[in-house]
Each structure stands twice: as C-alpha cells, then as structure tokens.
Amino acid sequence: MGKVYLLGAGPGDPDLLTIKALRILQSADVVLYDRLVSPEILALANPHALLIHTGKRHGQQEEIQNEINSLMLEHASQDKTVVRLKSGDPLVFGRGAEEWALLQAHGIQVELVPGISSAISVPALAGIPLTCRGIASSFAVITGHNQKSETPDWMKFRGVDTLVILMGVENRVRIATELIALGRPASEPVAFIERGSTDRERVVISTLAEVSRGQVDVVSPAVCVVGEVVRLRSQLCANTVEEQGVLIAR
C-alpha cells in the first residue's frame, strides 16, 4: 500500500515552499494539484511524476471532490507515493481534514506537510501586519462563502480588530455592507491583495464604504484584509509601493 501526503504549497512563491515539501515533491509518483498551485511549484516536482489537475469549478465542487477521493485511493492502492498538493495550508479552508479521514478509513497511510497560509503571509508580504501594538491585538481568518455560497455570520467577528477574508472577492459588496450594518466604520480601510507573493501581485486599498458601493474592482484570487492595520502599509512599503503596482481606490 502506498502513502498520501497532504502537502501545502504555500501562497505561490516557490521560495516559500518548505524544505520538506520540496523533498517530497521531488520523490512523488503522482501529484494531484489544485487550481491555485503555481506553475513554478509544479516545475519542482519529480519529472517522472504523473501530474493531475484537480481544480474545483463552480457548481461542480462535490463531483470533482469525489473524483479526487477516487484518484487518491486508486494510486495509493497501487503502492505509489501520492501528493495531494494544495495552495496555502492543507487544513485552512481546504478539505484536508475530510481527505485525511477518508484515507485513514481505507487503511492508507497519511502524512500532513503544513504549508505557509496565504491568510498570514500574503498580507505580511504586502506590508500589512495582522496585529500591531496599539492598533490591533486580535485577528480572525474567515471564508467569504460557505458550501451554499452564503456569507458567514459576521456578528461572531464584530469585535475582532483585523479580519482576513479568503475567497471573498465575489461577495465583497455584500460582505462590506453587512460589516457596516454591524457597526464597523464605513471609513475603515480595506486591502485586497491579488496573486500575493508572486510577480503578478496587485494591491488595492479602499474603504468599507467604497467596497459596499461596488466601486472597487478586484480579480480573484485575492486576500482581503479589513482593519486599521491596513494603514500601516503606506509606512512599511513607502519605498516599494510603486514597484508593487498598487491601486489606491478613492
């Protein structure tokens, strides 16, 4: 019986891949990779490995997940080393825990290889610390939609200083409107970081009010940060803002 590695690819920059992740990728027989895994990271895999794209498509998530499950079971049962390669970290808003439980139920050995989550690394690399003394002492990482494409119960996060929203681009107007309705200031700054950590990164700085009015154009994938820490970017990236292709939405 083979083995499956649930492996985190990090935010996109291949230099942020862990040493262990690189070693396992280079010895894999099969790599099942998600849509957001960068080509640069795939290029580091064993040149003889079978690479299988398993990215989800809207409306077909369950069907594709069933295919992924079948592929993992099929190749692991053939005594192969299988890598389930996920962007970010396998257990942060992926189905890593579900896949782990499934494989374990079928008697297949599983090992988790954590990845650097985009929730923390992408804002930090863009000059936005999620906490800062005197400004923010708490943060929450939230998905912008659930299985039914509904937004979360934002009341739970009302008192959190910094909100990091993943997969929230599509619902950004609704999210901003709900946050304002719950009492967050309409003037509170918001940052969208598109394709973070890559040479295609683009940062959009705005406010909840502007986002709620549909005045901010953003392309997925993007990490959204809401909170006063966003204002620190202008100070921390004072010498590099021009290079990073920033749009100031005002």
Question: In whole angstroms, what is the distance from residue 36 CA to residue 33 CA?
Answer: 8
**Integer Cα distance of 201 and 106 in angstroms:** 41
Cα separation values, 106 from 2, 8, 99, 123, 198, Å: 12, 22, 11, 39, 38
- For the record, the structure tokens of 13 come out as 């920059």
- 87: which DSSP letter? S
Q: Helix, strand, or coil here: 3?
A: strand
* H or E element in which residue 64 lies: helix 61-76
Active site (catalytic) residues = 34, 56
